[in-house]
Structure 1
Amino acid sequence: MIFKRSKKNTNSDQVRVTLPQVKQAVKQFEADMPTPINRTVLIMADKSIDLARLKRYLGGVPQQKFYMSRETFEIFAEEDKLVPYYLDLVQSAVDNYINDTGKLPLIEDAWLPEVHYRLLSTESYLKETPPFPLYITDEEMMLTHRPEHFE
């Protein structure tokens, strides 16, 4: 008689990890993969990270959930799970706006390079407005939610 090992995670497989540990595991996962494969293969439909695939780097499957932006690769803990959703939504809108107009969709006279949601919505680039500001960085016009990025 052949017994198959259950693929379900048991409680003994579960571990508690920190956000920096997950970030490091994701980087190591990507480094270990063949060239065409990158970390975005870990992102599930709800933007959560498939932590079972990081088990060997973390020593088990984490109890908590973590989320990643497909556009910026930033990783977030459960309490910030909406941030990657909005980063991806607005990054796509910003990219399309820049491609079409050659301009940055920024709020005029703002202290920081804040994305102008109303402009993107009016021009039909953005269908949903984030509940927090996002900023355009100098690094390949990528977005960030952290104003301290500019300090």
Structure 2
Amino acid sequence: MFFKRTKKQPQSDHVTVTLNQVKQAIRQFEEDMPALINRTALILDDKRIDLSRLKRYLGGVPDQNFYMSRETYEVFEEEDKLVPYYLDMVQSAVDNYISDTGQLPLVEDAWLPEVHYRLLATESYLKETPPFPLYITEEEMMLTHRAAHFE
């Protein structure tokens, strides 16, 4: 009798996850780490999250990319990958402007507290202008890209 030899297929450790699952994994990672290590340790230079470090919380390495703002800790999916890049750049410019002038760099007469990019650029706080508006929230003067935050 002959037995058919089969090659064992390597088990893939890739998984598909939701944004909420990634956020929960990040929170768990931060809880499990020593006090000196926070979630920003997961952020790569291009704002991608190093998902291999979340493998134990997600049951594998996600087959999609997620991104995080170092300044606001907000997590984004692939289609919004530019948002954390601009959030971090503009948050730093806003913080420096407030520190130097004691004022908020806001667009005058805007119905929402929109960041005044031209003012920040003119005063050399901002080198690049985001292609979408950012708003200053009352919570520690953090930025958001969501106008709905103010409804």
The interval holding the TM-score normalised by the smaller chain is over 0.9
Provide the residue aligned with 1:137 in structure 2. 137
Q: 1:11 to 1:134 in 2, by over 3 A?
A: farther
* In the alignment, structure 1 residue 15 sits paired with structure 2 residue 15: yes
RMSD across aligned C-alpha pairs, in angstroms?
Answer: 0.8
> 1:102 aligned to 2:131?
no
TM-score by length of 1: 0.93
Structure 1: distance between partners of 2:11 and 2:29 = 23
Normalised to the residue count of structure 2, the TM-score between the two structures is 0.93
Kindly report which structure 2 residues correspond to 1:1-151, keeping only aligned pairs within 5 A, or say none: 12-151=12-151
Q: Highest Rg: 1 or 2?
A: 2
The number of equivalent residue pairs is 142
What amino acid does structure 1 have at the position aligned with 2:86? Y
CA separation in 1, counterparts of 2:23 and 2:36?
20
Identity %: 80
Moved over 4 A (4+): none
Q: Secondary structure at the match of 1:30?
A: helix
1:11 positional shift: 6.3
Provide closer, same or farther for how the CA distance between residues 112 and 11 of structure 1 changes in structure 2, counting only shifts above 3 A.
Answer: farther
Structure 1 unmatched ranges of 5 or more: 1-9
Give the secondary structure class of the aligned counterpart of 1:132. coil
